[in-house]
Structures are given as structure tokens and as C-alpha cells.
A and B are shown apart, each in its own frame.
Chain A
Amino acid sequence: ALELWLNKATDPSVSEQDWAAIQNFCEQVNTDPNGPTHAPWLLAHKIQSPQEREALHALTVLETCVNHCGEKFHGEVAKFRFLNELIKVLSPKYLGSWTTDKVKGRVIEMLFSWTVWFPEDIKIRDAYQMLKKQGIVKQDPKLPADRILPPPSPRPRSS
């Protein structure tokens, strides 16, 4: 079911974001016992898609899940193991030469916004600093006004 909803939420033939599918994916992440550990890898695979629209949709799904899927999902995303998958999209040593500027821009913007929103996640900060040191991130992106404030706190586990 996780893959089914993710395929729907990242369908490259649809230009608009399918928010109902994203919501269903998030709910599935929260109800499936393996959801929080499995979902980040499904998302990483989509984010590395050669199809720009699929990758962009997947980034929106990831961002929504980080804000709404609870601590366990957040904890997985904040590990180097997952952050490396985002770094691969940016680094010319990995997939960076094939990634479009739009996708790279969104990944950088998202990583930077996490460093602002979640300063306690040291690994996110380290990954972002490494990208800057490598010259992959030239300067901090300007976050749109609606993204400067942190997202709503994750729902308590019991809900």
C-alpha cells in the first residue's frame, strides 16, 4: 500500500500535486509498522528519478512526511544513511551531473530549511556544511516567507 500511494503521489504524468494521495501515503506510513523505516527509502528512489516531475513530486511528499509523520520517520530522515541519498542527487561524483537545476535547488532549499527548523539534528547540519565545504552549495538559499517559520509540531504518537 505504501508503494501504491507513493506511485500515485509522484505520478510524473500529473502536473499538479495529488494532496489526497500524499495524505494517504502519510497515513500509511503511520499505520504500517515498518512504514517509518521503509518509506524514506521508497522516497529516495523516487527523488533520484531521471524524470524531473517525479523527483519534484517526491520531494514534496518527503517534506510533508517530515512535518507530519512523527518522530520515527523524522529520525530515519535525519540519519546520514538517508541524507546521503539526497547528497547523491547533488554531487557530481554521484548523480549530480544528471540532476536538473530545479531538483537540485529544491533539495538544497529543503536541507537548509531543516537546518533552520531542526537545529537539534546535528547530522542534517553536518551534511549541509559538508555540501558547502565541497562547493556544491554556494550560498544559503533564501527561504520563501512561508517557510521561515517552523512547521507545526508532529502529532503525538498516540493519535
Chain B
Amino acid sequence: LGEESEERDDHLLPM
């Protein structure tokens, strides 16, 4: 679960 939520929080920088 920890990994899943980390994955969800991992975004490209807004440009």
C-alpha cells in the first residue's frame, strides 16, 4: 500500500 500511494504521489513537474 505504501508503494502504491507513493506511486500516486509521483508526478512530473507542472510546466
Quick check: B12 and A127 within 8 Å, CB to CB? Answer: yes
CA gap between A126 and B10 in the complex, in Å = 13
Quick check: B13 and A88 within 8 Å, CB to CB? Answer: yes
Interface range on chain A: under 10, 10 to 19, 20 to 34, or 35 or more? 10 to 19
Q: Which of B10, B11, B12, B13 has the most A CB atoms < 10 Å from its CB?
A: B13
Quick check: B10 and A81 within 8 Å, CB to CB? Answer: yes
Quick check: B15 and A80 within 8 Å, CB to CB? Answer: no
Q: CB of A93 within 8 A of chain B? A: yes
Q: A123's closest neighbor in chain B, by CB?
A: B10
Write the residues of chain A forming the contact surface with B, with a CB cutoff of 8 angstroms.
79-81, 83-84, 87-88, 91, 93-94, 123, 126-127, 130, 134
B13 partner residues in chain A, CB cutoff 8 A: 80, 84, 87-88, 91, 94
Quick check: B15 and A93 within 8 Å, CB to CB? Answer: yes
Quick check: A130 and B10 within 8 Å, CB to CB? Answer: no
CA gap between A91 and B13 in the complex, in Å = 10
A84 partner residues in chain B, CB cutoff 8 A: 12-13
B11 partner residues in chain A, CB cutoff 8 A: 80
